[in-house]
Amino acid sequence: MAGKAPQVHGSGPAFDLAGGTLTIDLGALAGNWRALAALCAPARVASVVKADAYGLGIEHAVPALAEAGCTDFFVATIPEGVAAREVAGEARIFVLSARVTPETAHTLRAHRLIPVLNTTGDIACWESEGWSGGAQLPAALHVDTGMNRLGVTHEEAAFFAQENALTRAIHVPLLISHLACADEPGHAMNARQLESFQRVAGLFPHSDSSLSNSAGIGLGAEFRRALVRAGIVLYGAPPVAALDGVVRPVATARARVLQLRRARSGEIVGYGGAARLQRDSLLAVTGAGYADGLLRAASGAGVDQRVGGTPGAQGWIAGHRVPVIGRISMDLTIFDVTDLPAGSVGEGDLIELFGNNVPVEAFARAAGTIPYEVLTSIGQRYHREYLRGEA
């Protein structure tokens, strides 16, 4: 399909009615999965599509990834699993953080979702669900290897392995653990967790094992095990240098210029008068704000909470970077476009907030946070364009 214009599928508010647009390049998403699959082979690449596919739309992301060849998906919650199942065909869908109870077990089974068992209570409930139904139910077992977030202990896993070898109550296709410090390649925790996970995996000789998220992929082949769980890197924001250049951006957010205004040196801009103009200026007031994921901490000035005195975010229009000026408000963000060549920005134009020209990492850094938080904060007010096929 190279060279062919991509098909566009719109969703959310109509273009003219929205304060901004979000373009989601499903061809890039599929290409990112294929690039990772090639990099990780013989390990397989599962797609993590929790939190509405990191804010980008689970009902669009899952079919694009499945079409690219992905057969394993991870979500956080049961409702996310139900949404994924509607578009995932026969793919396996693992639910990372559901509590397994008699009620949730019923919903999990009804939608053919595979729970990740995180506690001995989860294990006991899934066992009795299997016994009452007369079937051996599948589950992934999550073992904590030092993060102290979710998962059973090594001892609990060993006890379960012994017991389950006899009763065969649960079919365990997958054993997982999660790395606490994978985004710091030199951190001593990585080797310690790998070693601990290898010992536990020895107790489950018939199960595949999975240790790495996106950053873990960058730690090398032995961390990739049978299956990696790729999230943020699929969406085009590699969390570690080792993955730079492997993927391309997927989401581009743009805000519409609602008003261009001239303001005089000495005047203030926005809430709190947080910015005071040092020169006569041209300002572009745009229709997206912190309710659209433009985190207030990325304001141009006057945000007390911001750490380290980082400058605010910069947008992009007509080949130029333009700084955010003053505080970002709920629905509006103001850019200083004084330095642009005359006539290069008009009312109705779109200023890129992050995407192909402003890496989402740069926006996140300006807000003192990570791309994960920016993407999952995007919200539902943008006009969305889903691009299918390779551009």
Ligand X SMILES: *Cc1c(COP(=O)(O)O)cnc(C)c1O
Site residues, ligand X (CB under 6 A):
48, 50, 96, 178, 213-215, 229-233, 239
Q: Based on CB atoms, which residue is closest to ligand X, 53 or 324? A: 53
* Shortest Cβ 305–ligand X spacing (Å): 25
Q: Based on CB atoms, which residue is closest to ligand X, 28 or 232? A: 232
* Shortest Cβ 207–ligand X spacing (Å): 16
Q: Based on CB atoms, which residue is closest to ligand X, 70 or 283? A: 70
4 is catalytic: no
CA angle 77, 81, 83 (to 5 degrees): 120
Q: Based on CB atoms, which residue is closest to ligand X, 157 or 233? A: 233
Q: Strand order of the sheet with strand 72-75?
A: 208-210, 170-176, 137-142, 114-117, 92-95, 72-75, 44-48, 227-230
Of the candidates 4, 235, 271, 372, the residue annotated as catalytic is 271
Using Cβ positions, the residue closest to ligand X within the complex turns out to be 231
Using CA atoms, how far apart are residues 157 and 201, in angstroms rounded to an integer?
A: 10
3-state secondary structure of 36: helix
* Shortest Cβ 211–ligand X spacing (Å): 9
Using CA atoms, how far apart are residues 53 and 26, in angstroms rounded to an integer?
A: 12
Residue of 78, 49, 11 lying closest to 375 (CA atoms): 49
Q: What is the DSSP string of 188-208?
A: HHHHHHHHHHHHHHTT-TTSE
DSSP 307: S
* Shortest Cβ 160–ligand X spacing (Å): 19
The Cα diameter of the chain in Å comes to: 80
* Shortest Cβ 191–ligand X spacing (Å): 19
CB 186 within 8 A of CB 133: no
Neighbours of 260 (CB within 10 A): 15
Active site residues: 50, 271
